Structure 1
Amino acid sequence: MKVLIVFDDVTCFSQLESIIRSLDWLTPVSRIIITTRNKQVLRNWGVRKIYEIEALENHHALELFSRHAFKRNHPDVGYEKLSSKVMKYAQGVPLALKVLGCFLYEREKEVSESAINKLQRILHPSILEVLKISYDSLDNKEKNIFLDVACFFQGEDVNLVMKFLNASGFYPEIGISVLVDKSLIAIGSYNKIRMHDLLQELGREIVRQESINPGNRSRLWHHEDIYEVLTYNTHYSKLNQIIHTACNKLIAKTPNPMLMPRLNNLVILNLRSGKSLKSLPSGIFNLEFLTKLDLSGCSKLKRLPEISSGNVCWLFLRGTAIEELPSSIDRLRRLGYLNLSDCKRLKSLPSSLCKLKSLKVLNLCGCSNLQRLPECLGQLSSPIILNLAKTNIERIPESIIQLFVLRYLLLSYSERFQSLPKPLFLARGCLALEPFLGIIEDTQRIPHSDHMLAIDWQKIRKNVCL
C-alpha cells in the first residue's frame, strides 16, 4: 500500500507506537512525516532524516505579518518603521508574526507603537501560551537550566555555564542536551549558547510571574529591579541570582550593607560594567551560597573588602581599578577561576594566592603594571592555566616550571621571555625541542585565554623519559 501519513506535534514515542506499531505493512514508496518539538522522539522511531524548520527570511516574514496587519503583502505607507520593529522582535517566527499582525490590525499608529514597546518587556499571552508548552514538558532541573540561560547565560561559553550548573546540582550534561533536542537553545559558533529572543522573554516572564515583588523572585536581571533590591530594605526570601547587563544605569555607588544578610540565598551576583560602583559591602563574600561574582568593567572599583570566609568559585575582576588583592583572598578555598585581565593598576599579587588549592585558571592578560609573580606559586597543588600575555613580567618563578604546576602557560610573543628557565626534563635532554616558546607546535585554543600561544605541560610530561 502506498500511503502518506502525517503526525503533527508528537510529544512521545508511545503515541507513534500505539498507532503504527510496525512499518512492515508500508511499501518502500510510502512516506511518514512527523512534526515534533523533541528530536529524541524521532531518534526513538529510527527517523533517518531530520529537517529543522528555519526562521522565515525577512522578506517572507514581512509579507506574512503584512497579510494579517494590513490585509496586503506589504506594510501600509507610514508603517514601515513599525513593521521593521516587529521583524526585529519576531525574528522570523511565524506564530509571533501572525499573532502580532492580528493584534495590530486596524489600530492607530501611535497605539501600535506603544503595543510593540510593551511587548519588548512583556510577552503577548497568545505567544506565551504556545511557547510555554515546551517549557512545561521539562523536569524541574531542566526548567531551572532553561531559566538560568534565559536570564543570565545567553551568548556565554557553554563549558563555563555547565561548570556553574553542575555546581548547582542541575546535571547540565543531560539537561543541556534535552534543551537542544527541544530547540529551546542551540550551541552556536565558538561554543556559545544561543536562545531565540522570544524564548528568552518566555523564561524571564515565567520568573516575573513568581512575584510582584522583585525581591521575592528567584532571579533578577533588569537594572530597575536590581536597583530596588540593592537600595531598599525589603524581603528577599527566594532571590538566588542577580545578573546586571545594564550596570551603567545603577546609581548606587555602594550597595546597602544592611542587605547582605537578606541576600544570603544569592548564587550569582553579576554587576558587570557598573561604572559608578566604587566599593563593596564588607560582608559580600560571606554570603553562604554565592559562587559567582562578576565585577568586570567596574572601572572605579579600587579594592575588595577583607575576606573572612566564602564559597566563591568564579571571581571576575577584568578591567577594574584594583591595585592589589587582599591578603585574605586565601579564605576563598573554593576559588577556581580568577580573572584579573586588563587590571592596568595591578602592581603585585599577595603570597597568600599560593594557598588557593582549588585554583585552576589565573588570567593576568593585559596587567601592564605587573612585573613579578609570587615565588611561592609553585606550591599550588593542582595544574593551572596561567595567562601572562601583555604583562611586564620578565621572569617566571622556577618553582612553577620545575614542579609542573602549569597546565597551560599563555604568553605573548616578546623578547622578555627569551631568558625563561628551561624545564628540568629539557635540561636532561629527554626532548630536543626548541626554542622554548615553540615547545608545542600545534598551539591550542584554550577557553578564556584570548587564543594566545599555549604550552601544554601535561602533554609534555606524558612523553618525557623522567
Structure 2
Amino acid sequence: MKYHCCQLFNGGYFSISIYIVNQGAFILSLRFVTMVYLSSRSAHRWTYDVFVSFRGEDIRKTFVGHLFSDFRRKGIYAFRDDDQLKRGEDISPGLYKAIEQSRFLIVIFSKDYASSTWCLRELVKILKCKEMDDEYEVRVLYYDVTPEVVRNQRGSYEEAFVKHEGYHRKEVHEWKEALTWAADNLSGWDLQALSNGPEPKFIETISNEIFHKLTSTGPIDAGDNLVGLYTRAEQMDLTRFAKPKSANIHMIGICGIGGIGKTTVAKAIYNLLHTHFEAYSFCEDVKGVEKRHGLVHLQEKLLANLMSLSDLKIRNVSQGIGMMKRSMWAKRVLIVLDDVDNLDQFEALVGSPSWFSPGSMIIFTGRDRQLLTAHGVEEIFEVDLLCDDEALELFSLYAFRNKHPKEEFIDLSNEVVRYVNGLPLALKILGSFLFGKTVEEWGSQLKKLRRYPDSQIQQVLRISYDGLDFDQRNIFLDISCFFKDEKKDYVIKVLGGCDLFPVTNIRVLIDKSLISIRDDRLQMHDLVQEMGWRIVDEESEEPGKRSRLWFTKDVRDVLNKDKGTGAVKGLAMDVSSSEVDINGKTFTRLNNLRLLNLYIGSWTRLLDNNGKIRETKLGIETKVHATSGTLDFLSSELRLFCWHGYPFHYLPSSFYPESLVVLDLSYSYIKEIWTGSKGFKRLTSMKLAHCRNLIKTPDFTETPNLEELILDGCKSLKEVHPSVGTLWSLVILNLKRCINLETPPNCTGLKSLQILNLSGCKKLDQFPQDLDTMKDLIELHADGTSIDQLPSSVSILWNLQVLSLGQREDMIKTRSLGSIFWPLSKMHHPPSAAVVPSLSGLKMLRNIDVSHCKVTDGSLGGIEGLSMLKMLNLSGNDFKSLPNLGKLSRLETLGLVGCTKLEALPELPPNIEVIEAQDCISLKELPKKSTLYESSFQSFDFTNCAKVIENQSIESLITMLLPQGRIDPYKILSVYLPGSRIPGWFTHQTMGDCITIELPQNWCYENFKGIAFCLVFTPKIHNRRKSYYNSIGYRYRNFDGTPIGMLSPIPDSVFQYESIGIKSDQMLLSYDPSKPDWKKAKNSISVSFEVYGPDCVVKKCGARLVCEEDDRVQEEGSGSRMIQWLLPSSRVEDELLVLQGG
C-alpha cells in the first residue's frame, strides 16, 4: 500500500511517500527529512495533541470542561468541536479530520455515550486510525460506568442499542464490536468510584500522563533557519536503517569540521527515526557535559531516558557500564551521542555492539574521524559544505531576515558566500555582523575579506572580532581562553572586577553570534573559540609574551623556566595534568596578571595506586610543587585568584589585591589568609574548602562586599572572626565539617544570608545568635552538631525551605534533643516563657531533617501547618505517636527509620510516595485502608516491623498495589515487611531467585494488568549482625532465553541508615504494571531477581499474572491475616490465603 500525505509548512508543500512493505515493516522516503522542523508539532503530521470523544450532554460543562482547562494550562493543544468547527460545516467530516490529525485519542465512556450515534462513529474512526497507524495513542476513560457495561453493552448501553436497531441496523454490529474491543484492549483510567479520590486528582493524572508523553517522546528542536538539510541527510541513505527486523547493530558516524552542522543533521535523523525504535535518547554536547558533570552524569541521563526512569543514581563509571550492559540489550534503541572527543566516552556510554539488541542504531557526531574509526564505527559520513544557493539563503536569513538578499546587496552577498565557502556557522556570524549596515559599510568590511585569499575559515570569523571595541575584544578573548562553559553570573562577576562592563558587552557578543547562553552557561562554538586562541597566539611567538596562557605546555614552560613577562594577563592550568615546579620568584615577572586559575580538573589523575587521593599531612598533593618555603610575589592586579592545592602556608606579604573578586584556595596548605589591612574591598567570593591547616579566618572588615564564604572541611578552624557579622552582602556561609569549630559564627548583620551550613560541626553546641536578622534565609543545615535546642527566633524565618537538624547514630549518646521543637510549639513552652509562634509559621519549608534528635511525643506541634513540606525525616527518634500528617498535601517522602518506640502511623496525605520505617519494632497500626488506597505511593518499607503483621492485617499494605498500577502504569511499586511464607494467591512459586511462569494463550491481550511478585529474603549466615539489602532488580526472559525489556530496578532507599540487622526472613511484595514489551513473550517467561548488596540472598519467590478478573481474598479464622487484592471491576470467586508467622 502507498499513502501520500501533504503538509503545509511556511507557505510551501512537501510530499511524503510512505510505503507499507509488510506488517510492521516500512520504508520512508528521505524527503521526509525536510520536514524535521522548528517545533515538535511541525515535525509530524499532528495538528492537535489530543482529541476527546465524549457525550456532550453528559459531561461537557463539568468534567470535560475542567479537563480541557487543565490541558490549556499545560500547553496541551486539544481539539474542541465547539472551538474548531465552523457553524454550518458538515460535522462528520470535520470531526473525522480532527481525529486523523490528533496524536492522543481519548474516549470517555459515560452513562449515555452509547445513545449518541456520532460518538459511536467517532469510536469506530478512532479504532480504525489506531489499526492503520500504531503511532496513535488511544486511551479510554470510564466515567460513572464500568468496563463491563461497555464491554457487554449492559444497562444504559443496552437500552441505547434497542433504539439504534430501529434506525441504524447496518451499523449496530460494528458499534458493538468497537465497544467490546475497546473495553478489552485499550488501557486508560477508571473514574467510576469518584468517592475514592477528588475529581481534580484524576484530571491531573490524565493531563500529566499526556504531557509526559508529549515532552519525552516528541522530536527535539533542530534550531531555526534550517537550510540544506535534505541534501546532507540524503547522502546517508537512511532507508537502510529504517527496517525494524534488521539483525545488525548499526554504528554510524557523522564527521566534519566545527560549525558545519553535524549536530543539526543528527537531530534531523533522530526526529525522523526515533518513533521506530523501542527506546531512544539524544545526548547533546557529550564533551561539554562530561567536562562539567562527568561521565557518570551522562550515564545516568542516558539510562534514565532509555529506561523511562527518574532520579537514577550511579555511583561510578564502572557501575554505570555494568548497568548499561544489563539494560540495553533487551530493546531496539536509537542513541545519538553528539560531539564525542575521547574513547572514554565511547567505553562508558556505548562500549561494544554486543551491549545492544539487533536493529539498534547508535549515531556519533565528532570532529575526529580517527576516533570514530578506532571505536569500530562501521560507516562514517562527512557532512559537506553548503552549495552556493544554500549558502546564500542561509546568509540572507541572518543578514536580511529574509531568504533572499535585497537588490542592492546581491553582488556583495554573493561575494561573502564565495569567501565563506559554505560553512554554516561562518555564514551565520557574518550575516549577524552585517545585519543593518549600509552598502558602504559592507564594502569596507568585504575589503578585509580580500586580505584572506584562501577564504580561511578562522580568518573569516576574525572579521566579527574586528568589529568589537576594546572591552568587547578582551571579554571575547577571556571567554574563549578561560570561561567557556562557565556560569554566566560567575563570569560577569569576575570580568566586572576588570571594569569591562560585562553585562552590556556579553549581550553584544551574543547579538553577533560569537557566543550563546545555554543552561545559564556561556557557550562558544569550537571554531569561534579557536579563532580567539589564534588571535592570542599571533601576539608573539614566545608564550611568555602573550596576553593569555591556557595550553598546558605553554603554562608549564613559562612557570618552570621563569619566562613570564608583564604581557601575561591571564593564566589557567589543570594542576592535576602536568608536573610544574614553583619557586618563590616564579610569579615575580607576571606583574600584570589579573586572572590566575590553577584548578583541579580531574581527581582521577591524583589517585595513588590504591585508588586514594594522594595527600600529605598538610593537604592534597597536586602536580604543582613548591621548591621553596615561601612565595615572594603575586600580582596585585589579580581579579581571579584560584589555586587548588596552594602549596605555601601564607600569601606573599607584598600582596595587596585591591581589585580581587574571587579567591579560591581550596585544598591548599594555607594557615592564614592575611593579617592587617590588605584592601580586599572588591572580594565577593572566598573559597577555602578543605584547607585542613587553616587555624583562623581574617578580619572580614577588609571584605565588605563578600557574598560567598566557603570553609567546608577546614578541620583546624576553631572559630570564625567575629567581623563576619558585618558582611551585610553575604549570601552563602558554609562551615560544613569544620569538626573543631567550637563557637558559632557571629550572624548579627547577615541580612542577605540565604544558606547557612553548619553540618558536621560536631563540637558546636548552639546556634548563632540573632537568627531573626536573617529574614532571607532559605537553607539552615545543622545536622551532625551538638546543638541541643532550636532557638525561638527560627520561627520567624519566613523564607526557610530546608531545615536539617539530623544526627549521626554515634552522636546520640552525647546529646539530648528531646525538646528541640518545644520553643516552636504552642503546646509545650519552657517555664515562665511567653507564647511564641509555632513551627507552622514557616510556610515555605520543603525539607526537614530531625533524625536522631530524641524527638518525643508532642514535640512536633504545628508541623501539620507546613503546607509546602515535601520531605520529612524523623528517623531514629523516641516518639510513640505522630500528629496527623494528612494536611501536608505536598509531602512525598517520610523517613521513620529506627523509630523503635513508634506504635502507629498517623493519617497520611494523598501524595505520599515513600515511607521508610525500617526497624520500627514497636509499630502496630497503619493508617486506615482508604488512606493507603488513595495515596500515590511508590515504596513502603516495613523491614523488621514484626508487630505490623502480628497486630494488623497486611491487607492494607497489598490492596493499594494494583489500583496504583492503573494510575501510573510505568511505576514499579513495592512493600517490604517481615514474613517467610509466600501466600498461595501467588500461583507460581519456587525456591531460589528465579521463577518460570507458564503463559496461557493470548495471555497479554485479555485484561492483563501486570505481574505481582513476592520474594522472601534471608540474611547470609556469615553476616547476620548488620545485614540489609541495598537495592533489588529483576529481569524478564522469554522461553527461548531472549530478554524481554530492560532490567527493572525496584526503588532504592532514600535515607542513609545502618540497620539493626535482619534477624529473620523478610518479604518484598512488588507489582510491575503491564508493559508493551511483554507482548513479545510466548509459552513461558522466566524472572530472575538480583540483590545489589553483599548481605542478603533471595530464599524463594512467587509470582502471579494479574488480570481484571482477580478479585479479593477475605479473612477467615482468628490469629490469621489474609491478603485482599482489590480491583474495582473484578468479579470472581474468593480465594482463601493465609500468611503464617511474621
Normalising by structure 1, we get a TM-score of 0.62
Q: Judge conservation of contact 2:726–2:749 (CA < 8 Å) in 1.
A: no
The 3 A distance-change label for structure 1 pair 141 and 355 is closer
1:8-33 CA distance string (max 9 Å, x none): xxxxxxxxxxxxxxxxxxxxxxxxxx
Q: CA deviation at 1:409?
A: 3.2
Unpaired stretches in structure 2, ≥5 consecutive residues: 1-9, 11-222, 238-249, 265-366, 368-382, 388-453, 602-621, 774-790, 804-841, 848-1142
What's 2:637 paired with?
289
- The question of whether the paired residues in 1 share the 8 Å contact of 2:481 and 2:529 is answered with yes
Contact 2:672–2:694, Cα closer than 8 Å, also in 1? no
Question: Which residue of 217, 240, 262 maps to 1:92?
Answer: 262
**Deviation digits for residues 73-126 of structure 1, max 9, x if unmatched?**
xxxxxxx999756367856289x954699xxxxxxxxxxxxxxxxxxxxxx962
Q: Deviations over 1:224-248 (max 9, x none)?
A: 111121122446242211112x433
1:354 Cα deviation after fit: 5.5
- 1:411 corresponds in structure 2 to 757
Structural mapping, 1:30-429, within 5 Å: 52-53=224-225, 86=256, 92=262, 97-98=383-384, 126-189=456-519, 191-234=520-563, 236-244=565-573, 246-255=574-583, 257=585, 259-273=586-600, 275-279=622-626, 282-285=631-634, 287-296=635-644, 298=645, 301=647, 303-311=649-657, 312-318=660-666, 320-322=667-669, 324-328=671-675, 331-334=678-681, 335-343=683-691, 345-346=692-693, 348-353=695-700, 355-365=702-712, 367=713, 369=715, 372-378=718-724, 380-384=726-730, 385-392=732-739, 397=744, 400-404=746-750, 407-411=753-757, 419-421=766-768, 423=770, 425=772
Is residue 472–residue 500 contact of structure 2 (8 Å, CA) maintained in 1? yes
CA distance in 1, matches of 2:490, 2:689: 17
- Structure 1 unaligned residues grouped into runs of 5+: 5-50, 68-79, 102-123, 445-466
Residue deviations 1:405-434 (CA, integer Å, cap 9, x gap): 662333276796884245275889896559
1:270 and 1:402, CA in 2 relative to 1: closer, same or farther beyond 3 A?
closer
Query: What's the CA shift for 1:251?
Result: 2.4
Report deviation, 1:137: 2.2
- Distance in 2 separating the partners of 1:55 and 1:270: 41
Partners of 2:702 and 2:735 lie apart in 1 by 20
Q: How does 1:22-37 map to 2 (within 5 A)?
A: none
Give the 3 Å change call, closer, same or farther, for CA 172–378 of structure 1 in structure 2: closer
Provide the rounded CA distance (Å) in 1 between the counterparts of 2:625 and 2:385.
46
Higher RCO, Cα 8 Å, sep 6+: 1
- The question of whether the paired residues in 1 share the 8 Å contact of 2:475 and 2:500 is answered with yes
User: Deviation of residue 206 (structure 1)?
Assistant: 1.1
Cα deviation, residue 209, structure 1: 1.1
Alpha-carbon spacing, 1:213–1:386, altered in 2? closer, same or farther (3 Å): same
Instruction: Work out the CA distance in 1 between the residues paired with 2:688 and 2:673.
Output: 13
Seen in structure 2, the aligned counterparts of structure 1 residues 147 and 60 have a Cα distance that, compared at 3 Å, is farther
CA pair 378-236 structure 1, distance change in 2 beyond 3 A: closer
Matching residue of 1:32: none
Question: Cα distance 1:430–1:252, how it changes in 2: closer, same or farther (>3 A)?
Answer: closer
Q: Distance in 1 between the 2:698 and 2:738 partners?
A: 19
> CA–CA distance in 2 between the matches of 1:86 and 1:317?
40
Q: When the two structures are superposed, what TM-score results if normalisation uses the length of structure 2?
A: 0.27
Q: Which amino acid aligns with 1:441?
A: M
Which whole-Å CA distance do the structure 2 matches of 1:394 and 1:55 have between them?
62
Q: Residue 37 of structure 1 aligns with which residue?
A: none
Share of identical aligned residues, percent?
A: 24
3-state secondary structure, aligned to 1:301: coil
Give yes or no for contact 2:259–2:525 (8 Å, CA) kept in 1: no
In 1, distance between residues paired with 2:698 and 2:530?
A: 46
Report the alpha carbon displacement of residue 205 of structure 1 after superposing the two structures with TM.
Answer: 0.9
- The 1:378/1:142 distance shift into structure 2, 3 A limit, reads closer
CA contact (8 A) 1:278 1:302 kept: no
In structure 1, what is the Cα distance between the partners aligned to 2:263 and 2:462?
15
Asked whether the equivalents of residues 330 and 353 of structure 1 are also in contact (C-alpha less than 8 Å), the reply is no
CA offset digits 1:177-219 (Å, max 9, x no partner): 1111122111111x21111111111111111111111122111
Q: Going by fraction, where is helix more abundant, 1 or 2?
A: 1
- Would you say the 8 A contact 1:396–1:420 is kept in 2? no
Question: Are the structure 2 counterparts of residues 377 and 441 from structure 1 closer, same or farther at C-alpha, using a change threshold of 3 Å?
Answer: farther
Contact 1:132 1:202 in 2 (8 A): yes
Q: 1:260 to 1:56 in 2, by over 3 A?
A: farther
- Letter in structure 1 aligned against 2:598: L
Counterpart amino acid of 2:719?
A: L
Sort the Cα spacing of 1:418 and 1:61 in 2 relative to 1 into closer, same or farther, 3 A.
Answer: farther
Contact 2:555 2:571 in 1 (8 A): yes
- Largest Rg, 1 or 2: 2
Q: Report how many aligned residue pairs link the two structures.
A: 349
Call closer, same or farther: CA 1:308–1:234 in 2, change over 3 Å.
closer
SS in 2 for 1:271: strand
Per the TM alignment, residue 158 of structure 1 is displaced from its structure 2 partner at its CA by 0.9
User: In structure 1, what residue type is equivalent to 2:595?
Assistant: I
Q: Describe the SS at the equivalent of 1:284.
A: coil
Contact residue 308 and residue 331 of structure 1 kept, 8 A: no
Structure 1's 125 and 322: CA in aligned 2 closer, same or farther, altered over 3 A? Answer: farther
Alignment root-mean-square deviation, CA: 4.3
CA distance in 2, matches of 1:236, 1:321: 26
Q: Report deviation, 1:441.
A: 2.0
CA change 1:193–1:87 in 2 (3 A) is same
| Structure 1 residues 36-71: Cα deviation after superposition (integer angstroms, max 9, x where no partner) | xxxxxxxxxxxxxxx7346999x986877x99xxxx
Amino acid at match of 2:640: K
Asked if structure 1 preserves the Cα contact closer than 8 Å seen for 2:254 and 2:262, the reply is no
Confirm or deny: 8 A CA contact 1:61 1:92 kept in the other structure: no
Larger strand proportion of the pair: 2
**Cα distance in 2 between the residues matched to 1:402 and 1:413:** 20
Distance 1:290 1:415 in 2: 33
Per the alignment, in what secondary structure is the counterpart of residue 200 of structure 1? helix
**How has the CA–CA distance of structure 1 residues 207 and 421 changed in structure 2, closer, same or farther, with 3 Å as cutoff?**
closer
Matched, 1:441 2:611: no
The alignment partner of 2:733 has SS state of: strand
Q: 1:178 to 1:326 in 2, by over 3 A?
A: closer
Distance in 2, Cα, partners of 1:408 & 1:393: 24
Q: Secondary structure at the match of 1:187?
A: strand
Q: Is the 8 A contact 1:389 1:410 kept in 2?
A: no
CA contact (8 A) 1:55 1:92 kept: no
